[in-house]
């Protein structure tokens, strides 16, 4: 085969693989791996666990969480965000060693946070990484599609070398292991998987100037795809750090390939609204930035 045919064949294989992955994931009911954190009015398990609606109203926020904690693997979910006037709402999908409770000095966290907006205005997707208690790594992008129209996948590939944030199949952000440069990396404790929908209007909308419009309540965000392809941490993390032939430890997943680097650079050029790496005012520019942007 010529190289064009080869690329085409690879694309077909990837598409089929993605379809299979979606099928198997949607077959795992919510209750197999997750449980509601708020009552049945606010965490609505639908169609036998096929999908879950988080419902925010004036009485309560809404949330669910994984039953296990995980260390390395591929973790993600299909999400359909609050339609219409969602200004002030925050839909969060995140991994945390602390479950968003009391934050220990060594807590690890990887976040997708979707900041709602007025009808017709674009959502902002904010991501962040905390490693050993150190965060302050916000990036904000706009999305190239309407995230309220249908489910899109938001996922993380996480192994000893790299954390890749994906929107569908597109890498939007990378956080590499830079321990050699004294940058902590999340690699020694399990994280739970959390989703929540809450009133973030105190900070999410232009510094709190746009309050949430409760007349538009209830606000509903939907989630599906509850399979987890990651190493579940039992009593010890050793089984996950040993790298016993898990696919995410194989060489091809240790870094982005050339095509993915092109995709990431395209995101950076067209969609980044804010990046801590270029925030000279807060002066958070650190040694990790150049390698995470493939400069
Ligand atoms: C809402 O959209 C406008 C652009 O139309 C943008 O300037 C603003 O930052 C957005 N707000 C949020 C909270 O995403």
Q: Percent of the chain at pLDDT above 70?
A: 86
Asked about 98 being catalytic, the answer comes back as no
122 Cβ below 6 A of ligand 1? yes
Peptide bond just before 218 cis, omega within 30 deg: yes
Q: Which residue has the higher pLDDT, 27 or 45?
A: 45
What is the full DSSP assignment across 101-142?
A: SS--TT--EEEEEEE--STTSPPEEEEEEEBTTB----EEEE
Whether 206 shows a pLDDT value over 90: the answer reads no
Q: Give the mean model confidence (pLDDT) for residues 82-89.
A: 94
pLDDT for 23 equals 47
Asked about 25 being catalytic, the answer comes back as no
Whether 15 shows a pLDDT value over 60: the answer reads no
Q: Average per-residue pLDDT in the chain?
A: 89
163 Cβ below 6 A of ligand 1? no
Separation of 124 CA from ligand 1 center, angstroms? 7
204 Cβ below 6 A of ligand 1? yes
**In the chain, what are the domain boundaries?**
3-293
Positive or negative, the CA dihedral 60, 143, 84, 43 is negative
Q: Give the mean model confidence (pLDDT) for residues 88-112.
A: 84
Q: Which of 5, 25, 98, 109 is catalytic?
A: 109
CATH of domain 3-293: 2.60.120.200
pLDDT for 116 equals 94
140 Cβ below 6 A of ligand 1? no
Whether 151 shows a pLDDT value over 90: the answer reads yes
* pLDDT-derived band at 16, boundaries 50, 70, 90: very low
Q: Give the mean model confidence (pLDDT) for residues 241-265.
A: 94
Q: Please name the residue that has the structure tokens 């949430």.
A: 212
Whether 226 shows a pLDDT value over 70: the answer reads yes
Q: pTM of the entire structure?
A: 0.89
Q: Please name the residue that has the structure tokens 């050699």.
A: 180
Question: Which of 86, 122, 123 is the pocket-test mutation for ligand 1 (most atoms within 8 Å of CB)?
Answer: 122
Q: Which residue has the higher pLDDT, 295 or 233?
A: 233
Please, are residues 227 and 33 in contact by the beta-carbon 8 Å criterion? yes
């Amino acid at each position: 085969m010529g190289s064009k045919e080869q690329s085409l064949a690879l694309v077909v294989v990837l598409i089929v693989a993605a379809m299979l992955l979606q099928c198997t994931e949607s077959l795992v009911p919510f209750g197999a791996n997750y449980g509601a954190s708020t009552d049945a009015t606010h965490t609505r398990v639908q169609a036998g666990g096929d999908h879950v609606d988080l419902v925010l109203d004036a009485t309560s926020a809404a949330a669910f969480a994984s039953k296990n904690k995980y260390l390395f693997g591929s973790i993600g979910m299909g999400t359909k965000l609050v339609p219409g006037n969602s200004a002030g709402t925050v839909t969060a999908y995140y991994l945390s060693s602390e479950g968003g409770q009391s934050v220990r000095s060594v807590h690890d966290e990887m976040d997708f946070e979707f900041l709602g907006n007025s009808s017709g205005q674009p959502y902002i997707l904010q991501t962040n990484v905390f490693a050993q208690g150190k965060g302050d790594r916000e990036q904000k992008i706009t999305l190239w599609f309407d995230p309220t129209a249908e489910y899109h996948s938001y996922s993380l590939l996480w192994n000893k070398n790299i954390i890749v944030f994906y929107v569908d199949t597109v890498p939007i952000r990378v956080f590499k292991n830079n321990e050699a440069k004294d940058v902590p990396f999340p690699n020694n404790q399990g994280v739970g998987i959390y989703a929540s929908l809450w009133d973030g209007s105190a900070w999410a909308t232009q510094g709190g100037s746009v309050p949430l419009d409760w007349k538009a309540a209830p606000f509903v965000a939907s989630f599906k795809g509850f399979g987890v392809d990651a190493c579940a941490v039992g009593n010890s993390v050793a089984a996950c750090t040993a790298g016993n032939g898990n696919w995410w430890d194989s060489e091809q997943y240790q870094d982005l390939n050339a095509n993915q680097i092109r995709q990431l650079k395209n995101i950076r050029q067209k969609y980044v609204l804010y990046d801590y790496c270029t925030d000279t005012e807060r002066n958070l520019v650190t040694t990790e930035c150049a390698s995470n942007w493939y400069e």
